[in-house]
Amino acid sequence: MNVNYRGGINTAESEGRIIRGIESSDLHGAAPPEGSLNHFNTRPIDEVAADLLSVLRLKDYPKALVLGSGTGSEGQDIQQAVPTAQVHGVALTPCNPYLRVILPFHEIYERVLKVVGFDVLHARRMETAYGKYFETQRQEYLQMPDDQYEQKKKAIIGSEPRTDQGCHVPTSLVEELQNSGKIDVFDELPSPSIHRQYIGRFPEHILPEGNYDFVYENHGPLYYVDEEKRGTSKDSLITAYHLLSDQGMLYSGSCWPLDRIPKSRRALIDAHGEQEALFLHDMTTQLLIVQKQNPLHDSLHAVLASHVHQCEEGVFQVRGNFRTLIQEALRMK
């Protein structure tokens, strides 16, 4: 198939599927088309979130929100598992909702590297928004002499596939290679899998409409919470919580730092009174918030004693495997 990544974005925009907030020039980690494909913006939804989708299927027409929707892969997974779901996304830059990435990122990287070689890949990468940011910020960002900087640049995009955000393959290069028949990375979708995209920095510059039955995040705006650097006093976790419906649930596979969870809950109580929602987190980065009216709420309460200890009223820390607890509660509901 012939790929026109920008064309799909233009179509979505003309259909009113893209809503832009205050423009942000900070695109060094941007998803396509301004940037590149990488591990984070092409990966599937994680296992715990996939399990939770069984609750979403109990509603006739649920609404889901992906915070940090990248190329749309995670939103597409939600749509595939729950075909009646209305899926929205928040990102710094829009994606083409009519295309699906069909390969894991390490395979994309390996195939592009095999076709064009390291020098071409490296040069094209440095032309992207991320590459330009890296170049202009090298002394301030890396704090190292030029020779060490050049070594660091090559290490970041080195000849071995990596799973960190430093390794990118320019979207424009992937598009060119697919259109010339050298690789297959994108597949066409019959209808848009991301029905509405909110473009801007959350929660400062863009705020989705709310009333979501499922809010999902993994290395999105709940993870990048350096408020001093971002110049905001807004709590992204509290804002995300307020986007939930009465039966909603919020899951983050990367909510960091975890000590903010009790603080955010106390702030909610101070502002809005006692909260009946259940707050669960583990010792790494996983967080689940379940509203009182959600079908999973009572089942989770029933299995808490053997899996958690209570950090403070309404906040529970999971001992052992987070997914095991969720699966046990799902079997009871």
pLDDT the model gives residue 255: 72
Ranges of the chain with pLDDT below 70: 22-34, 129-166, 225-234, 256, 258, 271-274, 309-314
Q: Quick one: how far is CA 223 from the chain centroid?
A: 9
Distance CA 32, CA 197 (A): 13
pLDDT the model gives residue 250: 96
CA angle 323–295–78, rounded 5-degree value: 60
Contact 290, 241 (CB under 8 A): no
Return the beta strands (E) in 63-167 as ranges. 63-67, 86-91, 99-101
Residue-range domain boundaries for the chain? 5-101+189-332, 105-187
Q: 223: closest CA among 203, 197, 253?
A: 253
Contact 287, 316 (CB under 8 A): no
Alpha-carbon Rg of the chain, whole angstroms? 21
Distance CA 256, CA 229 (A): 16
pLDDT the model gives residue 280: 87
pLDDT the model gives residue 146: 67
pLDDT the model gives residue 164: 43
Distance CA 128, CA 125 (A): 6
Domain spanning 5-101+189-332, CATH architecture: 3-Layer(aba) Sandwich (3.40)
Distance CA 30, CA 299 (A): 39
Contacts of 192 (CB under 8 A, 6+ apart): 12, 15, 17, 97, 98
pLDDT the model gives residue 158: 47
Distance CA 149, CA 1 (A): 39
Each residue of 168-216: pLDDT tens digit?
889 999 999 999 999 999 999 999 989 999 999 898 889 999 999 999 9
Q: Between the CA of residue 38 and those of 10, 220, 240, 316, what are the distances in Å?
A: 22, 14, 25, 34
Q: 218: closest CA among 62, 26, 89?
A: 89
